Structure 1
Amino acid sequence: MLLSQLFLAGLATFASAARAPVTRVLHESRRSLPAGWSVVRRAELDTILPLNIGLVQSNLDNLDAYLMDVAHPESPNYSKHWTAPEVANAFRPSAESIDAVRTWLADDGWISAERIVLSKSGGWVMVNVTVEEAEHLLGTEYYVYEHAEDGRQHLACQGGYHLPEHVSKHVDLVTPTLHFDVKIRRHGSADSSVTKQLGSVGFGASPKMGGPVHTIFTDLEHCDEVITLACLRTLYDFVYTPFAPGRNTIGVVEYTPQSHIPSDFDVFFGNYSKGQIGERPKLVSIDGGSLVPGGDIGESSLDLQYVMGLVGKKQEVLLYQVGDAVLSGSFNNLLDALDGSYCTFKGGDDPIADSFYPDNSPGGYKGPEDCGDKKTAFVISTSYGYQEADLTPAYMQRQCTEYGKLSLTGMTFVYSSGDSGVAGFGNLCLNDEGEQIPGTSGTSFNPTFPGGCPYVTSVGATQVVPGNKVTDRESAVFQRFPSGGGFSNVFPRADFQKGAVTNYLGKFPPGYAQDIFNDSGRAYPDVSANGLNYSVAADGVLRLISGTSASAPTVASILSAINDARLAIGKRPIGWVNPALYSSKFEGAFHDIINGTNPGCGTQGFAARPGWDPVTGLGTLNFAALLPRFLVLP
């Protein structure tokens, strides 16, 4: 009996040694909670979590080189874009990464093999675990958090989480961990008031709706008061008739319940482009996206009326309507629908920040989540955004990489830069701990996402100065809102813009302390366009709407026309356009904006100056100068 007891004790000691806790390294952390959240209690240990482990993609260190090879105007391979399968194969996670994570789960977490699932794209490993198991695996503690605004609760780990050092290099991020149910907002917000909940991933904010347009101006004498299609064409030398509309594509993204009333297009075109009466965008429904009766009609009406009006009668415009009326959707839900290799098992990328379908809620979309089954467009315009402080760096970096991968196929992503100057939504700025607090207390600038991602083209806002002619130089917008711009706290300064940004900081130093903004970060916006007082038909009435959410679709329309012209002569679309715009070949192809600032956080922000600046970027587009330069490229 004594020998048996000693033998059993030896076995227990051996097993304990074999399963001794592994040494972990901090994999991801958050300095502070997103605005409005606070901890209420420890999570119950038997709560089940759908643990999703995003694997590191192969060849990411080569992504910039791959992109510059097809996007820099001096490259012999300019515009020789990749196919979607080529992109998927180049970046597919390695078998080594999959095996490392599986072995870790089995050895350290004692997870049986049948519980571990690999996504169909090979990019994610999923396993359902208890909170107790997750805390053991990740070296962290889970808590329940509550939002002060509406009392909704969310489960997340505190501070950070850890992975074994040999596993960490194979993992991008793990969810649910630090990623919160944050707000995706349109960039045409007049204030921080909330009008409609978009579900678990965000809210729609009321647009900067001005009063009705009492006089319909069809001339160019009143562009300082009301912007119309004619004003924009004159401002940016944009006169163009499509030659290859059947081969060209442009898309506009809206997130339910942002919607529009189809008959409003006839009101708009009846006043500003009579030959387009009866035209409608082509609906591309993503995860049950549809036009919601009673939805917020400002953003969708603005975006679509001006894109359709600017690209002209012959060009089809795709409306990517994302998410049902219950859950809505996120940027990742859009990207899932465009790129099947980005999807996880059953779709989605983060069970907290992104919506999952089927939606079993009353009135929810009961179909499967869209995964790589939607038509892509050469140019996609989006007027929504987050603050970087809302999200974790790993989440943003993974999404930013996807914009880069899709850009390899010839796509151009255009995003508005925000309407709060150097502050965040609701004039929130950052304190020393990285927390978002009112600008009267916070002093550090609060950059937006994805404007700081180098693979998107970020667009700021300008305006015609009251009393000036439409042919006079514009100013950075100063009425109604300040244009978003600044420097990312997550993404480093991009190579393509180093010369332009160094020139600005050297010749026109802002004079702020180093902790106010990250002068080594990716600088934005890249370009700008008018964003003040667009005449938009909404609910049968022409109203004035403002914001960088007007500027982005204007820039997207001009870039789409350049694609049309290239396609018409047998060339390929421009794709990731940033390296070309910043290159010496395009010097002088912009209307340089040298007046105005983008105040916030108790400062005047940055100043518009000759050359690139973090208010208006390189300036507004001069189509007549840009087009021939793009046409001579391969």
Structure 2
Amino acid sequence: MRPSLRILLALLCAIPTLSLPAQDSPYEVKERVRPPHGWIQHSKPPPDHTISLRIGLPQPNFGVLETHLYEVSDPNHSRYGQHLSKEEVEELVAPHPESLNAVNEWLASHGIQEEDISHSPARDWITLTIPIGLAEKMLDTKYHVWMNPTTGDYIVRTTSYSLPIDLHDHVDVIQPTTMFAQFKPYRSFIVKSDEKPLDINTALGTLTNPATGLVVDASCNDTITVPCLAQLYNSTGYIPSARPDNAIGITGYLGEYANTADLQQFYAEQRPDAVNSSFKFISVNGGINNQSEPGYEANLDVQFAFGLSHPIPATFYSTPGSPPFQPDVNTPTNTNEPYSDWIDFVLSQENLPLTISTSYGDDEQTVPQSYAQRVCQDLAQLGTRGISLLFSSGDNGVGDGESNPTAQSCFTNDGKNQTQFIPAFPASIVSVTAVGGTENVAPEVAVSRFYSGGGFSNYFPRPSYQDEAVSGYLKALKPGTYEGLYNASGRGYPDIAAQGDRFRIIVGGSPVSIGGTSASAPTIAGFIALLNDYRLTRSLPPLGFLNPFIYQKGYAGFTDILSGHNSGCGTTGFNVTKGWDPVTGFGTPNFGILKDLVLYA
């Protein structure tokens, strides 16, 4: 019997103790980081260059919200599925009035008035746009332009900032300051496909998955399509409704645009009954969906997530911000990383898709821990409201294993420059579901053309919902395996997996084969949207935060993957084993079994 989640074994994110502010308090360093590997100091930004600062205030009642999150997500709890409203969540994460007053007084001392700032609906975030010169004075710091020679990108950041001592307890985080992460799509191996039209009705023989007994078209070993996934994951014949209280969402960043003409061509090939249907486009912070620039990542995400879940209503979010700075322009368009803008936006919305997939991320160590904790808390709010969040686990194995498992570039940023496995973010967050990658169909194995991201967080302790599964995996490891290279007490990821290579999509009117866990996450999202449909049509609430269900009951609806590993950092990484492992999690979905499990959860 799996343990109940009613007793929490660890807090999701720590909350600081509050103290009263004092006037004319001396400054003290609030946060200091080392620039991640690959970034070099380039120049000074112009003092009149504007920057949009986001100030996160402590959420003193977050522990109460966390309790709600676990109770409404625990299939063994009497409150399972009783998700909170937007207003109820905002009440729980609202800052203490003393924190608001202290920060407002500090801002006013620098000439910034109430009309110069904006608040999140819960008032736990304050945003203001000011010149760099003023930001440097307020934070007792110096900003620089930093360059990444590998990518050619520039960002405006500092490696430390300070606040008045008595303001420290009233501020969790201020960004952009020490945040060097650049969220990138988790995709790889883009190759032109056969130009011949795909005929999904022409069988080339069949294969039988020995783990499930399911029969799959033999062509699925070479080319993954919507019908292949339906066969492999046992959803063939299920016809979902188009009810308006269910929807699936895809996030888009970095100039990745979802092309509607390509979607129609994709539907004509792989989902003919979906032809002439499309998605709702939502612009976040001025994001566009340029139809003359189809994106490989955006097209992959929308074509498969929406192709698998049709006719469930679909949404594509576009958030701008790439690259954030050009050193020869005084006023660049955006100095924030775009992920913050998306979180701000969705938390302010009353109605959201019940399933949202994100295929972007970066190394955990490029993200300050204070910021990572706030993202954890923000995403927990969405889970408490009944939203299922899926994130790709990454394509670099345990660190740098995308194409060279013998490389030795997994270095820590703590000044010791030690070799260490590098977890991915946001996949390492405990309040989301991370998705690894597989390939082949008879049987499925961990993907090998790239390596499924997986391992253990250095920021987030192992949550109670996965304690039994992860402890079992670690106990089975040979003593001393990778000692010192990973945090054995950290949150293990991924949680589950799906096919991640040789996906046939349409880009610019031509077929393309693409791989990456950025294919796996939208695939899982499509099936979660189907499961939500199944529950809603039976007057049951949506699944919401998935992990407590997966680790207590849902694991029985996933097919265990038994072969493969995830190389990186000069090692072969972790091995796939029976049960949960940090390569493929509990394995890949069997929709037919999961339908029964979610019905009686």
Q: Give the TM-score normalised by the residue count of structure 2.
A: 0.83
In structure 1, what is the Cα distance between the partners aligned to 2:191 and 2:471?
38
C-alpha RMSD of matched pairs (Å)? 3.1
Q: Once the two structures are superposed, what CA deviation does each residue of 1:39-73 show, in whole Å capped at 9, x if it has no partner?
A: 35677889876654321123122332110110000
In structure 1, what is the Cα distance between the partners aligned to 2:574 and 2:287?
39
Partner amino acid, structure 1, of 2:577? R
| % identity of equivalent residues | 33
Q: Give 2:359's match in structure 1, choosing from 383, 386, 410.
A: 383
Residue 319 in 1 paired to residue 323 in 2? no
Shift of 1:398: 1.2
Q: Give 1:445's match in structure 2, choosing from 399, 421, 445.
A: 421
Aligned to 2:58: 56
Size of the aligned set, in residue pairs, is 547
Aligned to 2:307: 309
Q: Give 1:22's match in structure 2, choosing from 4, 20, 26.
A: 26
Q: Once the two structures are superposed, what CA deviation does each residue of 1:155-180 show, in whole Å capped at 9, x if it has no partner?
A: 4333x334445422221112343123
In structure 1, what is the Cα distance between the partners aligned to 2:298 and 2:188?
13
Aligned to 2:471: 502
Report matched runs for 1:182-581 at 5 Å: 182-190=181-189, 208-212=190-194, 214=196, 216=198, 218=200, 219=203, 220-239=217-236, 240-243=238-241, 245-255=243-253, 257-312=255-310, 314-323=311-320, 330-340=338-348, 372=349, 375-424=351-400, 429-434=409-414, 443-464=419-440, 470=441, 472-478=442-448, 480-509=449-478, 511-581=480-550
In structure 2, what is the Cα distance between the partners aligned to 1:436 and 1:290?
43
Q: 603-612 or 91-100: which moved more? A: 91-100
Partner amino acid, structure 2, of 1:216? L
Aligned to 2:84: 82
* Secondary structure of 1:319 counterpart: strand
Aligned to 1:3: none
Partner amino acid, structure 2, of 1:515? G
Greater C-alpha radius of gyration: 1
Aligned to 2:169: 169
Aligned to 1:626: 594
**Does the aligned pair in 1 maintain the 2:401–2:566 contact within 8 Å?**
no
In structure 1, what is the Cα distance between the partners aligned to 2:91 and 2:264?
46
Aligned to 2:96: 94
In structure 2, what is the Cα distance between the partners aligned to 1:569 and 1:538?
38
In structure 1, what is the Cα distance between the partners aligned to 2:303 and 2:54?
40
Structure 1 unaligned regions, length at least 5:
1-17, 191-207, 341-371, 465-469
Q: Once the two structures are superposed, what CA deviation does each residue of 1:550-588 show, in whole Å capped at 9, x if it has no partner?
A: 1111101111111101110111101001100001x3342
**Does the aligned pair in 1 maintain the 2:294–2:507 contact within 8 Å?**
no
Q: Give 1:605's match in structure 2, choosing from 573, 576, 580.
A: 573
Shift of 1:100: 2.9
In structure 2, what is the Cα distance between the partners aligned to 1:215 and 1:131?
54
Aligned to 2:70: 68
Report matched runs for 1:4-43 at 5 Å: 22=26, 24=28, 26-30=29-33, 32-40=34-42
Q: 264-273 or 141-150: which moved more? A: 141-150
Shift of 1:22: 2.7
Distance 1:58 1:502, change over 3 A: same
Q: Once the two structures are superposed, what CA deviation does each residue of 1:326-347 show, in whole Å capped at 9, x if it has no partner?
A: 858722222222122xxxxxxx
* Secondary structure of 2:594 counterpart: helix
In structure 2, what is the Cα distance between the partners aligned to 1:277 and 1:131?
50
Partner amino acid, structure 2, of 1:28? E
**Does the aligned pair in 2 maintain the 1:71–1:575 contact within 8 Å?**
yes
Distance 1:587 1:446, change over 3 A: closer
Distance 1:625 1:38, change over 3 A: same
* Secondary structure of 1:545 counterpart: strand
Distance 1:616 1:274, change over 3 A: same
**Does the aligned pair in 2 maintain the 1:424–1:448 contact within 8 Å?**
no
Distance 1:288 1:157, change over 3 A: closer
Partner amino acid, structure 2, of 1:68? Y
In structure 1, what is the Cα distance between the partners aligned to 2:488 and 2:453?
16
**Does the aligned pair in 1 maintain the 2:355–2:525 contact within 8 Å?**
yes
Shift of 1:543: 2.5
In structure 1, what is the Cα distance between the partners aligned to 2:151 and 2:443?
46
In structure 1, what is the Cα distance between the partners aligned to 2:144 and 2:283?
36
Structure 2 unaligned regions, length at least 5:
1-21, 204-216, 324-332
Shift of 1:410: 0.7
Q: Give the TM-score normalised by the residue count of structure 1.
A: 0.79
